Structure 1
Amino acid sequence: METIRKPFQGITNIIRFNWHFYALSLGLALVLFYLSAIQTPIPRAYSLLLASVIVLTTLISLAVSLYIYDTSGLYALKWLDKLAVDQPDIIVNVNAGFDETSALFAKKYSRAELFVLDFYDPIKHTEVSIKRARKAYPPYPNTLQIKTDTIPLENDSATVVFAILSAHEIREDNERISFFKELNRILKTGGKIVVTEHLRDLPNFLAYTVGFFHFHSKSTWFQTFKAAGLEVSQEIKITPFLTTFVLQNA
């Protein structure tokens, strides 16, 4: 399927919405390089080493992000063909304030009815990157603003629910469980919930260093799913850095 994204849109957005982080890293590296030029040999070596580590880890994270969001085929959605998901008649797509997938799902599943839900709460979700993204990209038409514990859809109404790189923004465990209980409630018998996330694991640590703490561990996700009455029917790796869980009623 043809994508409707622009070339390098992923990496451009990452830099655009997180420019403060890259500015800070660059500034700190420049200060350390400057200090290395005026210090005695031993402190100079430490300054050069630290500055080099900052530059290297930043470049690695950007290279990995370029691979994931622009060259891996994530947004081409061909990986969905590997999942045991029947052709849906009603799709629910959930985002956390920045929606990069609804237009793609609408195109791939053109015969399905699509409901788009946005659980962004400016009081709970205070990341400046999300605020910048919301200013840059308008919501998908007819997006419903929801609370994580109240989804305004009927029981057993959705064939497939997608939560692509969004559910990790629910930081509190009980709130995340309540959210997935709501997704379970609206899911038809035999329906699927597709959750794609970075995990707090070794590949993401190597890619993003301390930034991997923003992600949840695999065990945390499994605890959430179990507490919400869901079970994992399928698990695939889109890339070494992204994991997709297909959930069904337990």
Structure 2
Amino acid sequence: MELKRRKFQGVLNILSFNRHFYVYGLLVLALIISSYIIFQWNAILFWVIIISFSYGLIMPLIVSAYVYDYSGYYDFNWLKDLKLNNSKTTKIVNINAGFDETSYIIKDKLAKSNLAVFDFYNAEKHTEPAIIRARKVSLTYPNTQQIKTNHIPLHDKSVDVVFLLSAAHEIRSLEEKIQFLKECQRICKPNGNVIMIEHLRDFPNFLAFSIGFTHFFSRKTWQQAFKSAGFTSFNEVKFTPFMSIFNCSH
């Protein structure tokens, strides 16, 4: 399996999956410019609106290129800081929300691991155009199992590491998050870990995505969800100003 990513693959994914947003944005921009030409309204207001719109369209692409194409996110060198042991066979679970860019890389980096992949995508709940488009082009790791967020089909205390990589925010309700994380906690061994990577609903991501940052959740929300699910350790390390790595255990 070819693991090498294309140049600017991350930002091209953002453009492809969210093209409706950019089409509508450019149409609105064209209407604003047309109305200014026709009606000659206030020039200062016009340029404030143009700059704001342009910022909202371009900045997410710049940040996405930085995070997904230039930060080393998909090189997985950040695994070294987590001190995962590849010298012995470990049971690893990778759970996605219908778009999987990481399972083959995890298996390549942790070759001796026993990797199981699960997908909690629910067509009735996950109706956003972006995730529907992403799912159509996503690679499917062999034997990926479709699951519900309230049940992971594995035995209690059987897993060393659960990866939740830019996926868990697709679970929108706090109650469902807690139920899902309880399942993750149930399958983890006493010394097991859940490793989650997420954008947060914070100031850097507001600067990056403007109103789009509401698609993510705050550190406080995640901490509450993990605590309610029975986790006693909730450690955060920033991976770029825009993403956080959470290493949680019980």
Shorter chain as denominator, the TM-score bin is: over 0.9
State how 1:81-230 maps to structure 2 within 5 Å. Answer: 81-87=80-86, 89-230=90-231
Specify the alignment match of 1:246 in structure 2: 247
Specify the alignment match of 1:50 in structure 2: 49
**CA distance in structure 1 between the partners assigned to 2:222 and 2:178 by the alignment:** 10
| RMSD between superposed Cα atoms in Å | 1.5
- How many residue pairs get aligned? The number is 247
Matched, 1:80 2:79: yes
Specify the alignment match of 1:234 in structure 2: 235
Query: What residue identity is the alignment partner of 2:75?
Result: A
Structure 1 segments (4+ residues) deviating >4 Å:
none
Displacement of 1:94 after TM fit? 0.5
Percent of aligned pairs sharing the same letter? 44
Partner SS for 2:249: strand
Query: What residue identity is the alignment partner of 1:207?
Result: A
**Contact 1:3/1:75 (CA < 8 Å) preserved in 2?**
no
Displacement of 1:138 after TM fit? 3.8
TM-score scaled by length of structure 2: 0.95
TM-score scaled by length of structure 1: 0.95
Provide Cα deviations, 1:75-95, integer angstroms capped at 9, x if missing partner.
100011112434461110000
Displacement of 1:26 after TM fit? 1.0
Matched, 1:38 2:38: yes
**Contact 2:3/2:104 (CA < 8 Å) preserved in 1?**
no
**CA distance in structure 2 between the partners assigned to 1:234 and 1:3 by the alignment:** 29
**Contact 1:194/1:246 (CA < 8 Å) preserved in 2?**
yes
Query: What residue identity is the alignment partner of 1:235?
Result: E
Displacement of 1:3 after TM fit? 5.3
**CA distance in structure 1 between the partners assigned to 2:223 and 2:31 by the alignment:** 44
**Contact 1:33/1:48 (CA < 8 Å) preserved in 2?**
no
**Contact 1:30/1:51 (CA < 8 Å) preserved in 2?**
no
